[in-house]
A and B are shown apart, each in its own frame.
Chain A
Amino acid sequence: ETGVTQTPRHLVMGMTNKKSLKCEQHLGHNAMYWYKQSAKKPLELMFVYNFKEQTENNSVPSRFSPECPNSSHLFLHLHTLQPEDSALYLCASSQGLAGGGGELFFGEGSRLTVL
């Protein structure tokens, strides 16, 4: 059991569907992240939120829409996805930004398949 919980663990959706991924952290951290993990590729940072404010958007297509209502919750809203968006989506949190040396705590990920 980790301090970062992601739901759902698995999601299959069609290209016209709208779905959301949810992440909750119970560690009292101020920063939260979405990463995309695809086979044979480095971990890709998508979004960073620090104290609920988005501080990084790594040129992510608009079909991915993040939402951070408070420092404990992070959502990733998905719509009109493409098959190449199939991947493991990892949420993480840290006390202090990761680039500054803060340790990232990851959830177990949401495995997304786009048909």
Chain B
Amino acid sequence: AQSVTQLGSHVSVSEGALVLLRCNYSSSVPPYLFWYVQYPNQGLQLLLKYTTGATLVKGINGFEAEFKKSETSFHLTKPSAHMSDAAEYFCAVSQRVGSARQLTFGSGTQLTVLP
């Protein structure tokens, strides 16, 4: 079975400060990893994904994430928070189960950006 753990259901940062949202997964096989963002009253939107290749992945809006196999982590970072980054962020993991791949979402982290 696979699982996704997002540490911290709520994170607050000051505008201009570093954003760090944590995601750990359990997987016995190489996973595909995703970060999605949900703004108020909207659906989810893909920020970035890792499937193969370079372990540091750059996404939209200045976000990036690094796949660390030894730590089973895929933390999301942004050097300088902007007020418009306030949203809920979801980490997701896809791994092979039998002949197919299944996608599992974490519980989400609500990011608040303080002026």
Contacts from A to B (Cβ < 8 Å): 2, 4, 40-43, 45, 90, 92, 97-101, 103-104, 106-109
A107 near B90 with CB under 8 A, answer: no
Q: Which of B43, B45, B94 contacts A98, CB < 8 Å?
A: B94
Contact assessment for A2 and B43 in the assembled complex, using a CB-CB cutoff below 8 Å: yes
In angstroms, Cα B105 to Cα A104, docked, is: 12
Q: Could you say which of A4, A100, A101, A106 has the most chain B C-beta atoms within 10 Å of its C-beta?
A: A101
B45: which of A41, A99, A106 is its contact (CB, 8 Å)?
A106
Chain B residue nearest to A45 (CB atoms) is B103
The 8 closest A-B pairs by CB, nearest first: A106-B43, A99-B101, A43-B105, A106-B44, A98-B103, A99-B103, A99-B94, A101-B51
Report the separation of the CA atoms of residues A41 and B105 in the bound assembly, to the nearest whole angstrom: 10
**Interface centre among B45, B103, B108, by most A CB within 10 Å?**
B103
Residue of A nearest to B9 (CB): A40
When C-beta atoms are compared, the residue in chain B nearest to A91 turns out to be: B43
Q: Does B107 contact A109, Cβ atoms closer than 8 Å? A: no
Total chain B interface residues with beta-carbon distance under 8 A: 23
User: 1/0 contact trace for B88-115 toward A, CB 8 Å?
Assistant: 0010001000001111111110000000
Residue of A42, A45, A92, A100 with highest tally of chain B CB at under 10 A: A42
Task: Give the distance to chain A from B53, nearest Cβ to Cβ, in Å.
Answer: 12
Q: Is B49 an interface residue (CB 8 A)?
A: yes
Q: Which of A40, A45, A99, A108 contacts B107 (CB 8 A)?
A: A40
B84 within 8 A of A: no
**In this assembly, does B17 line the interface, its C-beta being within 8 Å of a C-beta of chain A?**
no
Tell whether, in the assembled complex, residue A41 and residue B107 are in contact, meaning their CB atoms are under 8 Å apart: yes
CA distance A90 to B102 in the complex (A): 18
